C-alpha cells in the first residue's frame, strides 16, 4: 500500500540519480470524483524542486525504486505540465478534512489517503491508525500489507468542497482551487438523509453541501434541517444562491426561515425572489407565528365548482408538475382565477379518483367542512385537525375568503417539544 502521508517529502530523482526535488502534493482530476464509479488514479505530482520551483509531473513519468521515485526518462525530456484548472489537491482538500461516507451517511475526518502500488486511489483512512502513521517512524510501523479493513472506499467518498476557499499560505505552493461542481452520489440520497449529514457539519460545510445540489433537492433538504442551522447555512451562501434555493421552497417554509433571520438580510433575500412569491411570503410574515396564519401555506389548489372530476384531476396533475403542490384536497370556488376567492367546499383526491369523470365538483364537494380563522391559536388548530382527522385545514377570513391551508406536518410540529421543532420563533 501507498499512503499520502508517507508519499509527502519522498525524494524524486532523474535516471542519473540526480535529485529533482520532493513530493509536496498529489492531484486528481475533478471529473474523476463527481458521481464516478470508475477507478480513480492521480493525475499529477506536485514536486518542489531543489531551487524551490514547483514542478507538475504526471504519475506515469515516475516509477518506484526502493524508497524513492525515479523518472522513467532523462530530465531533459520532461515536459512541465500545465494545470487544467479542474484538479483537486489531496493535501489541501482531502487530508485532515471532513468527507462524507455515502454508504454510512456520515461525515468523517480524513487522517490519510490510501493508494494501491499502481497508484489507484483506494480510499481514505479515518482511523486512529491513520493518524499514528503520520507521526510514528516508518521502521516502527513496518511494511503495509493488504488493504486496511477500516478504509472508506473511494467510490463511497463525497468531498465537501468550499465555495470560496482561500488556499494560499506563506509556506505552501498553491494549487488553484476549482469552482464547486454539482455533488455526485450525495444528490442520489433522500433529502432527509442529506439533512442528517448536514447536521454533522459546520454551517460553512453545510452551505457547501447545499450549494452543490440542484435547487429542488437543496430546497427539500433545507426543509428537513433545524431552523437555526437553516439560518446559518443561508448566511454562508451568496444572496443569489440563497434566494434560488428559497424560491424552490414552500411559501410557509420561506416565511418561517426568513422570520428567523435579521430583517436586513430577510428583506435582501425577499427582493431577489420573484415578485409573486415574495408577496405571498410577506403576507405570511404579517401573522403571528403561533396562529393559524403563521402556520399556513398559500400553496394550495383551487378549482371552479363547475369543473368536472376529469377536468379537476387534470388541473391537479398540471399543478403538481408545474408548481409541485401536493395537497390531499382541492378547494372549490366560484372563480379560480381570483386572488381572493370565497371557498364553497372541498373534495379529497380519493373522492376524485373514485368519482365518475363527468360528475361536477358542485355535486361531489363537501360543503360542511371544518375551517379555522387566521388568528386562531396554533395549538387549537392542531387539536381541531386531530379531532376531525384532517390532513389539511383551510384558513378562512370572516368574509369567507380562503387565505391559506395548514397542513398536518406543520400542525404536528406545534405539538412537539420546543427542542424537537423545525419551525422557529420569530425575531420580529
C-alpha cell at 331: 378547494
What is the maximal distance between C-alpha atoms in the chain? Answer: 94
Backbone angles phi, psi at 308, to 5 degrees: -80, 170
- Tell me the pLDDT tens digit for each residue of 226-242: 878 998 999 999 999 99
Give whole-number Cα distances, 388 to 127, 142, 366, 393, 426, in Å: 54, 71, 14, 10, 29
CATH T-level topology, domain 185-286 = MgtE N-terminal fold (1.25.60)
Kindly provide the residue ranges of all beta strands, DSSP E only, lying in 121-170, ordered along the sequence: 121-125, 151-153, 157-159
Beta strands 19-29 and 11-13, pairing class: antiparallel
Give yes or no on whether 2-157 and 185-286 have one common fold. Answer: no
- Tell me the pLDDT tens digit for each residue of 347-383: 999 999 999 999 999 999 999 999 999 999 999 999 9
Q: Average pLDDT over the chain, rounded to whole?
A: 84
Beta strands 68-71 and 11-13, pairing class: parallel
Sole residue written with cell 499502481: 118
Cα(165)–Cα(176) distance, rounded to whole angstroms? 10
Helix axes 251-258, 275-285, angle to 10 degrees: 60
Cα(423)–Cα(206) distance, rounded to whole angstroms? 19
C-alpha cell at 228: 437555526
Contacts of 250 (CB under 8 A, 6+ apart): 223, 297, 299
Higher pLDDT, 308 or 224: 308
SS3 state of residue 61: helix
Q: Could you tell me the residue ranges of all domains in the chain?
A: 2-157, 185-286, 302-420
pTM comes to 0.72
pLDDT of residue 379: 93
The percent of residues in the chain predicted with pLDDT above 70, rounded, is: 86
Question: What are 346's strand-pairing partners?
Answer: 331, 366
- Tell me the pLDDT tens digit for each residue of 33-91: 654 567 888 888 898 887 777 888 888 888 888 778 898 888 777 766 667 667 899 99
Which is it for the CA torsion 125, 129, 132, 134, positive or negative?
Answer: negative
Q: Tell me the mean pLDDT in the region 144-154.
A: 68
CATH of domain 2-157: 2.30.30.240
pLDDT of residue 138: 56
CATH of domain 302-420: 3.10.580.10
For residue 153, pLDDT beyond 60: yes
Which is it for the CA torsion 17, 21, 26, 29, positive or negative?
Answer: negative
Cα(144)–Cα(155) distance, rounded to whole angstroms? 22
Q: Tell me the mean pLDDT in the region 250-257.
A: 85
- Report which secondary-structure segment, H or E, holds 26: strand 19-29
Contacts of 420 (CB under 8 A, 6+ apart): none
Sole residue written with cell 392542531: 382
18 pLDDT band, cuts 50/70/90, is confident
pLDDT of residue 132: 80
C-alpha cell at 302: 383551487
Contact in structure between 345 and 375 (CB atoms under 8 Å):
no
Amino acid at each position: 500500500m501507498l499512503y499520502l502521508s508517507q508519499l509527502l517529502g519522498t525524494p524524486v530523482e532523474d535516471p542519473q540519480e540526480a535529485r529533482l526535488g520532493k513530493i509536496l502534493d498529489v492531484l486528481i482530476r475533478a471529473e474523476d470524483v463527481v458521481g464516478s464509479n470508475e477507478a480513480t488514479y492521480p493525475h499529477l505530482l506536485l514536486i518542489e524542486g531543489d531551487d524551490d520551483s514547483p514542478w507538475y509531473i504526471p504519475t506515469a513519468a515516475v516509477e518506484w525504486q526502493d524508497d524513492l521515485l525515479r523518472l522513467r526518462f532523462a530530465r531533459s525530456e520532461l515536459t512541465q505540465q500545465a494545470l487544467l484548472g479542474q484538479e483537486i489537491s489531496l493535501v489541501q482538500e482531502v487530508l485532515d478534512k471532513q468527507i462524507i461516507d455515502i454508504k454510512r451517511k456520515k461525515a468523517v475526518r480524513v487522517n490519510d489517503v490510501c493508494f494501491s502500488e499502481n497508484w489507484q486511489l483506494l480510499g481514505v483512512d479515518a482511523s486512529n491508525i491513520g493518524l499514528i502513521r503520520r507521526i510514528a517512524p516508518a521502521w516502527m510501523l513496518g511494511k503495509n500489507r493488504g488493504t486496511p479493513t477500516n478504509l472508506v472506499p473511494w467510490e463511497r467518498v463525497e468531498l465537501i468542497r468550499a465555495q470560496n476557499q482561500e488556499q494560499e499560505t506563506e509556506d505552501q505552493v498553491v494549487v488553484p482551487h476549482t469552482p464547486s461542481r454539482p455533488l455526485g452520489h450525495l444528490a442520489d440520497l433522500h433529502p432527509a438523509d442529506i439533512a442528517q449529514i448536514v447536521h454533522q457539519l459546520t454551517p460553512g460545510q453545510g452551505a457547501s453541501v447545499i450549494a452543490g445540489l440542484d435547487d429542488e433537492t437543496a430546497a427539500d433538504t433545507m426543509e428537513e434541517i433545524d431552523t437555526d442551522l437553516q439560518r446559518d447555512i443561508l448566511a454562508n451562501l451568496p444572496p443569489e444562491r440563497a434566494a434560488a434555493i428559497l424560491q424552490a421552497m414552500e411559501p410557509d417554509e420561506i416565511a418561517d426561515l426568513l422570520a428567523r433571520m435579521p430583517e436586513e438580510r430577510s428583506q435582501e433575500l425577499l427582493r431577489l425572489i420573484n415578485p409573486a412569491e415574495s408577496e405571498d411570503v410577506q403576507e405570511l410574515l404579517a401573522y403571528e407565528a403561533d396562529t393559524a396564519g403563521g402556520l399556513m401555506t398559500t400553496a394550495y389548489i383551487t378549482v371552479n365548482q363547475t369543473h368536472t372530476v376529469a377536468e379537476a384531476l387534470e388541473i391537479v396533475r398540471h399543478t403538481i408538475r408545474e408548481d409541485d403542490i401536493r395537497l390531499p384536497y382541492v378547494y372549490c370556488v366560484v372563480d379560480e382565477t381570483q386572488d381572493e376567492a370565497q371557498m364553497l367546499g372541498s373534495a379529497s383526491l380519493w373522492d376524485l379518483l373514485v368519482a365518475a369523470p363527468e360528475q361536477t365538483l358542485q355535486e361531489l364537494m363537501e360543503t360542511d367542512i371544518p375551517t379555522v380563522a387566521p388568528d386562531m391559536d396554533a395549538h387549537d388548530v392542531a387539536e381541531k385537525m386531530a379531532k376531525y382527522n384532517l390532513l389539511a385545514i383551510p384558513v378562512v377570513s370572516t368574509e369567507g375568503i380562503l387565505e391559506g391551508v395548514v397542513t398536518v406536518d406543520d400542525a404536528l410540529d406545534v405539538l412537539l417539544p420546543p427542542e424537537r421543532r423545525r419551525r422557529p420563533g420569530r425575531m420580529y
